[in-house]
Structure 1
Amino acid sequence: MEDMVLIFSSLSLVVVAVAFKLIIRLRTATPKHLPPSPPSLPILGHLHLAKKPLHRTLHSLSQKYGQIFSLRFGSHLVVILSSPSAVEECFTKNDIVLANRPPSLAGKHIGYNMTTVVTAPYGDHWRNLRRICALEIFSTNRLNMFLGIRRDEIKRLLRNLGRNSSQDFTKVQLKSMFLELTFNIIMGMVAGKRYYGYGEDVKDEEEARQFRKIMREITENGGASNPQDFVPILRWIDHGGFEKRLMGLAKKTDAFLQALIDKMKGNEEGNTMIHHLLSLQKSQPEYYTDQIIKGLISVMLFAGTHTSAVTLEWAMSNLLNNPHVLKKAKAELDSKIGEENLMDEPDMSKLHYLQSIISETLRLYPAAPLLVPHMSSDDCTIEGYDVPRNTMLLVNAWAIHRDPKVWDDATSFKPERFECGEAEAHKLMPFGLGRRACPEAGLAQRTVGLALGSLIQCFEWERVGKEEVDMAEGNGITVPKAVALEAMCKARPIMNNLRSKFVDHV
């Protein structure tokens, strides 16, 4: 109650000053042809309209105000796009102008003061980070070097699923398994460590426990949108202690990552990502600082784990609700790979229907439905509307992916729509577009492809009951399922042939 009194008292003190400033601005500013906008409130703007899930709320507003409309989050102008042609214009003609990122509390504290490849403003520093990602981290050669890690982690997943399902169907909870899979793959690449597993599989339980706790807190706080980013008065008083929590979380995360780096500085032997970046630090110490390395690691962890795990969960949910698709995918695997050999990552190039299933999953359930926000560095126009400098741009990829004017039978799960070739980039954009597109897209596609194909090849799958899997969305930056996926699985004969190999190689 006292917090609310303090908030409203503080707001009343600044109302006159803000109103005076707005009057002066309106009298002196050149009229702008801004995108249409609903009525707003003083100070807060349209923040009261920002109901979760935000991508659905913005889609509803676009039905009334058009596929290009604007909102004010506090004092910040936000333009929302749900039009493929507008998106194409943004990331061709206006790509450089829209290559900035809006500042945020999470970017400040978790993102090393907006210096990571995701949060950094467009410029020399960002270009250097992007070059490092392209050449040293996510290049085809580098990803191929870590293929063994992806193979081993997926074999562990298959072995765990097969423990109790060799004779009959067994109920399994897949959400936690997918999260453990993706975290272990990324940490194996980064530091050669496993933080999720069974007993002897995890070497340092205390370190693993600390890591898991940090990841939970990052998920709860690091990606949250909050009014304090847009209303200065709320930030000044730190209503709810949000910034204080972020600062504490950033301190713990930094200490954890620094400890990983320090342990490897004294050990020259190793083929992890940290080893490689430390070798570059020797030749270019002024640029490959510990902070730059920690920023690169944090991006791999935060951007490359939940997204792939969520995509796998949505893909399996769709397959369970569409048994004919699952049957067709299984037939393709049996035909192209055989029933004796486990599929491998290079096999993805000939598994066209499996690729279509993944594309269709990313269309209906993109892990980042609003992509990562952009910000204009200068005035520009989008389809005739003025977009002033420092405007935040949100692309509602979820709405475009489900637009009946763009896709036939838009809300149905139909992988066959991709069998004739790839969709145009501005119509299917799960990893973003332009120069700020996700640098981890290649790794994500490899991980999801190998994992999903292996699950289909090695097990029979059924729903837990007769009812369809609940496809409701939960709240979260990567749009998780509201109800964690459970399914019934039974090992196929190929598991009997390969079980001994799992023991030898895992």
Structure 2
Amino acid sequence: MDLLLLVVIFVASILCFLIFGHLNPKRNDVKRINNGLGKRLPEVAGSWPIIGHLHLLSGSQVAHKVLGAMADKFGSIFTIKLGVHRVLVVCSSEMAKECLTTNDRVFASRPKAMGSELMGYNYASVGLAPHGPYWRMIRKLIVLELTSQHRLQMLARIKVSEVESSMMDIYKTWVTAAGSSERVVVDMKQWFGKLTVNMVVKMMFGNHFSPGEQNGEEFLKAITRFAQLIGEFVPSDFIPWIRWLDLGRYEMKMKKTALEMDAAINGWLEDHKKKRNYASTLQVDESKDQEIFMASLLRRVEEAAKEELYGFNADDVVKATCLALFAGATDTTEATLTWTLALLVNNPMTLKKAQQELENFVGKDRKVEESDMSKLVYLQAIIKESMRHYPVAPLLIPHESIEDCIVSGYMVPKGTRLLINIWKIHHDPQIWTNPFEFQPERFLTSKKEVDVKGRHFELIPFGSGQIAGEEICWSYLVERIFGGIVSYSINSRSYVQKYAVF
């Protein structure tokens, strides 16, 4: 958010302030503190009227590093004002644990935002929906589907099939250029992106991504815009009364993106409905189609609809859920895989050890299999260290308190938003020796028992607590995807010989 935009927000807000007036939340804070409900939270200095501390986040430095620098000055727990909203920033594993375990129920909701409304089917997306009966219902359905044995088996089959197909594409590229004196260069970020999209599309929707079908290219571009827009600092999210100005044209962009995504995902949904009706008419076995996530979820949601969908229709619930999981599994997976391989290339000794481990336990005469992963402990350490270095979401998706609570002796009022700075926790020198160095060996010694499933708060790239249930569940699948793809990439010389450069 640039300074010119902030000036416009400031002027517009003052006009609204003069017209509508304001409430002073500090009066209620004093009452709570006087009633023995904890100490007052430290607040960062430099807050401006109306916009609060938004101007401190308007520079070129990324938000998680700006907030990390604040933690060095004000401590690992403090508050800032983002427009009209009070935000609790937590930068330590102990306090993150207290927020997401002791106060798990209190922070079980998400704040409302324009992106969740316009691109999340009016808060039907489980990862962005406020806490309540709808959220509990759809979360339960997702966990049942993602952790089922047939879903894991299906993922394993798809992973093998898609990785083999992608490796063959690289081999064909090398064969085509075999007569050239130059080496073959492979864009691994693009390769990871195409591979991940094909895997997730096939698991969720049942077919390969094809640019020529269902406006595939437009859908991928829309998903990319979705990921960018959902993480933007939208002015009206912090100062609601200026939404009509549509500063930054965010509302216009979000509506356009939502329409493009819906057109593609609705096409997949209608295809599955037609297949189901056709199978029912001809009494054909439809068990194969039921393995597909969208078809299985549709069946479960329609069963739940017989009781209550809390104001949503079944189609929107299915589309919102599939869209959230697709967006969460593609761009994030591609980014983490790219960072992992980049770290290995820049640390040749680590790469050599990983290759040696693969040769010892797998060899060069066969492909890596799912059963091999438990033996590849060094590879698993590499994946954990990559997630520690470059968490996909350096700041966890915001939570919001649904009632007053106490965190580390401080009084946190109802309605306070919670930001957990994962990046700062993952680089805390009190937890991690030489935190800015790439050292997978730490997960073979002092941090051997630490995993990424939300149980160890010094490493929580996917979050933790009950609101992160579907994220942790999905992280289990993502971790398995990472392991297989990274192992293939590291050991790729067995398939494309020494001519390809990775």
Above 0.5 in TM-score?
A: yes
**Counterpart check, 1:44 vs 2:51:** yes
Q: How does 1:325-404 map to 2 (within 5 A)?
A: 325-404=350-429
Residue 36 of structure 2 is matched in structure 1 by none
The amino acid of 1:189's aligned partner reads M
Of the candidates 271, 287, 292, which is equivalent to residue 272 of structure 1? 292
The amino acid of 2:459's aligned partner reads L
Residue 214 of structure 1 is matched in structure 2 by 222
| Cα distance change on mapping 1:238 and 1:25 into 2, 3 Å | farther
| Cα distance change on mapping 1:88 and 1:5 into 2, 3 Å | closer
8 Å contact kept, 1:78–1:393: yes
8 Å contact kept, 2:117–2:123: yes
Residue 21 of structure 1 is matched in structure 2 by 23
Return the structure number with greater helix share.
2
Q: How does 1:232-381 map to 2 (within 5 A)?
A: 232-268=240-276, 269=286, 270=289, 271-281=291-301, 283-286=303-306, 287=309, 289-381=314-406
| Cα distance change on mapping 1:10 and 1:371 into 2, 3 Å | closer
- Quote how far apart the aligned CAs of 1:490 are: 5.9
1:310 and 1:111 mapped to 2: Cα distance?
23
Question: What are the superposed Cα offsets for residues 231-285 of structure 1, whole Å, 9 maximum, x if unpaired?
Answer: 1233131112211221222223223222211121111242321222233355444
**Counterpart check, 1:449 vs 2:483:** yes
| Cα distance change on mapping 1:109 and 1:20 into 2, 3 Å | closer
1:4 and 1:443 mapped to 2: Cα distance?
41
Equivalences, count: 460
Residue 467 of structure 1 is matched in structure 2 by none
8 Å contact kept, 1:169–1:490: no
Residue 491 of structure 1 is matched in structure 2 by 497
The amino acid of 1:41's aligned partner reads W
| Cα distance change on mapping 1:23 and 1:364 into 2, 3 Å | closer
The amino acid of 1:342's aligned partner reads K
- 1:418 counterpart SS class: helix
1:183 and 1:42 mapped to 2: Cα distance?
45
- Quote how far apart the aligned CAs of 1:180 are: 1.2
- 1:91 counterpart SS class: helix
Q: Which runs of 5+ in 2 are unaligned?
A: 34-38, 277-285
| Cα distance change on mapping 1:290 and 1:151 into 2, 3 Å | same
**Counterpart check, 1:63 vs 2:72:** yes
| Cα distance change on mapping 1:262 and 1:335 into 2, 3 Å | same
2:15 and 2:169 mapped to 1: Cα distance?
61
8 Å contact kept, 2:219–2:260: no
Residue 136 of structure 1 is matched in structure 2 by 145
TM-score by length of 1: 0.84
1:308 and 1:347 mapped to 2: Cα distance?
21
Of the candidates 446, 464, 467, which is equivalent to residue 436 of structure 1? 467
1:385 and 1:226 mapped to 2: Cα distance?
29
8 Å contact kept, 1:70–1:78: yes
- Quote how far apart the aligned CAs of 1:36 are: 3.2
The amino acid of 1:273's aligned partner reads F
Residue 163 of structure 2 is matched in structure 1 by 154
Of the candidates 126, 133, 137, which is equivalent to residue 135 of structure 2? 126
Question: What are the superposed Cα offsets for residues 387-417 of structure 1, whole Å, 9 maximum, x if unpaired?
Answer: 1111111111111111111111111101010
| Cα distance change on mapping 1:26 and 1:131 into 2, 3 Å | closer
| Cα distance change on mapping 1:337 and 1:352 into 2, 3 Å | same
Question: What are the superposed Cα offsets for residues 92-115 of structure 1, whole Å, 9 maximum, x if unpaired?
Answer: 210110111111111111112222
- 1:69 counterpart SS class: strand
Single out whichever of 381-390 and 284-293 deviates more from structure 2: 284-293
1:282 and 1:107 mapped to 2: Cα distance?
23
2:120 and 2:266 mapped to 1: Cα distance?
15
| Cα distance change on mapping 1:236 and 1:30 into 2, 3 Å | farther
- Identical positions, percent: 33
Of the candidates 233, 243, 255, which is equivalent to residue 225 of structure 1? 233
- Quote how far apart the aligned CAs of 1:20 are: 5.5
8 Å contact kept, 2:29–2:413: no
Question: What are the superposed Cα offsets for residues 309-353 of structure 1, whole Å, 9 maximum, x if unpaired?
Answer: 111011001101110000000111110111111002231111100
- 1:305 counterpart SS class: helix
| Cα distance change on mapping 1:337 and 1:23 into 2, 3 Å | closer
| Cα distance change on mapping 1:370 and 1:12 into 2, 3 Å | closer
The amino acid of 1:250's aligned partner reads A
**Counterpart check, 1:422 vs 2:436:** no
Once superposed, what is the RMSD of the aligned Cα atoms? 2.7
2:144 and 2:7 mapped to 1: Cα distance?
54
Q: Which runs of 5+ in 1 are unaligned?
A: 196-201, 461-488, 496-506
| Cα distance change on mapping 1:275 and 1:149 into 2, 3 Å | same
TM-score by length of 2: 0.85
8 Å contact kept, 2:146–2:474: no
1:396 and 1:440 mapped to 2: Cα distance?
21
1:114 and 1:56 mapped to 2: Cα distance?
29
Residue 113 of structure 1 is matched in structure 2 by 122
2:20 and 2:47 mapped to 1: Cα distance?
15
| Cα distance change on mapping 1:8 and 1:353 into 2, 3 Å | closer
| Cα distance change on mapping 1:18 and 1:64 into 2, 3 Å | farther
| Cα distance change on mapping 1:378 and 1:7 into 2, 3 Å | closer
| Cα distance change on mapping 1:277 and 1:43 into 2, 3 Å | same
- 2:126 counterpart SS class: coil
**Counterpart check, 1:84 vs 2:118:** no
**Counterpart check, 1:170 vs 2:184:** yes
**Counterpart check, 1:192 vs 2:206:** yes
1:444 and 1:256 mapped to 2: Cα distance?
24
The amino acid of 1:443's aligned partner reads L
- 2:197 counterpart SS class: helix
